[in-house]
Amino acid sequence: MSRRTLLWWGVSLLVLATALGAVVVFVYPQSPGFDRWWNEMIAAARADWMLDFALALNWIGGGWVAILGVPLLAILALVLARRWRRAVFAAVSFLASAGAVQLLKTLFGRARPDDMLVVSDYGSFPSGHTANAATIALVLWVLFPRVWVAIVGALWVLAMALSRTFLSVHWATDTLGGALVGAGVVLVLAAWLLPWVQRKKHALDAPIG
């Protein structure tokens, strides 16, 4: 994939996420009908296994585990594998994604569902847990572009998104926005940094794809 294509997709996803946030906050201040329907449907169908699953992902995908634990483990693994450029790319991606999420949360200040089952921070849009999952998935896919990596990453993002609605801590559109932000940030950074990441010692830049 060329740098131009990566940049186009990344910017498009970020613009789409911002537009989605503007629509659900300013056009539908009481949340769109789909969000309310999904929240009510999940609440009615919620089972114990869903809660156990969601609570586990709530711990894995948030707090110090997501902010420090998972990123540091990924970066440390790349450093130990002597892939320090990839480690830098991963670190920048995690930081930029977290910053973008907090920026949009502050910008939109969307209220969370009233019936949420866990305590969470300010701002419902976008979902930070889902954005973090998408960031991890896209970083791994960019660095290791394999079909199975893409499939596992997509399933991880979907699982995290569903878990946030199982707990009624996010509207469904929040999770979509989080996925768009996480993926968009990584693709934009890949367009900028990937040639440097792939550069071989004493050689010209390696091709992106």
pLDDT in tens, 123-157: 899 999 999 999 999 999 999 999 999 999 999 99
pLDDT at 200: 65
Tokens encoding 16 = 């789409």
| Cβ partners under 8 Å of residue 166, min gap 6 | 42, 46, 50, 51, 53, 54
For residues 7 and 188, what is the distance between their CA atoms, to the nearest angstrom? 5
Burial 160-185 (b: 16+ CB within 10 A, else e): bbbbbbbbbbbbbbbbbbbbbbbbbb
d(CA 75, CA 90): 7
Distance, CA of 169 to CA of 172 (rounded, Å) = 10
**pLDDT tens readout for residues 164-180:** 999 999 999 999 999 99
What is the arithmetic mean of pLDDT over 17-40? Answer: 93
pLDDT, averaged across the chain: 88
14-18, 20-24, 116-120, 198-202: least confidently modelled range: 198-202
Question: What would the mean pLDDT of 3-11 be, rounded to a whole number?
Answer: 93
Torsion angles phi and psi, residue 168, rounded to 5: 55, 30
Extract the tokens encoding 106. Answer: 């502050």
Question: Is the preceding omega at residue 145 within 30 degrees of 0, hence cis?
Answer: no
Whether the predicted pLDDT of 92 surpasses 90: yes
Tens of pLDDT, residues 185-203? 999 999 999 888 887 654 4
Mean pLDDT value across residues 98-121: 90
- The amino acid at 7: L
Over the stretch 56-66, which tens digit does the pLDDT of each residue have? Answer: 888 887 766 66
Q: What is the DSSP string of 38-50?
A: HHHHHHHH--HHH
Mean pLDDT, range 66-90, rounded to an integer: 79
Whole-number Å distance between alpha carbons of 81 and 2: 26
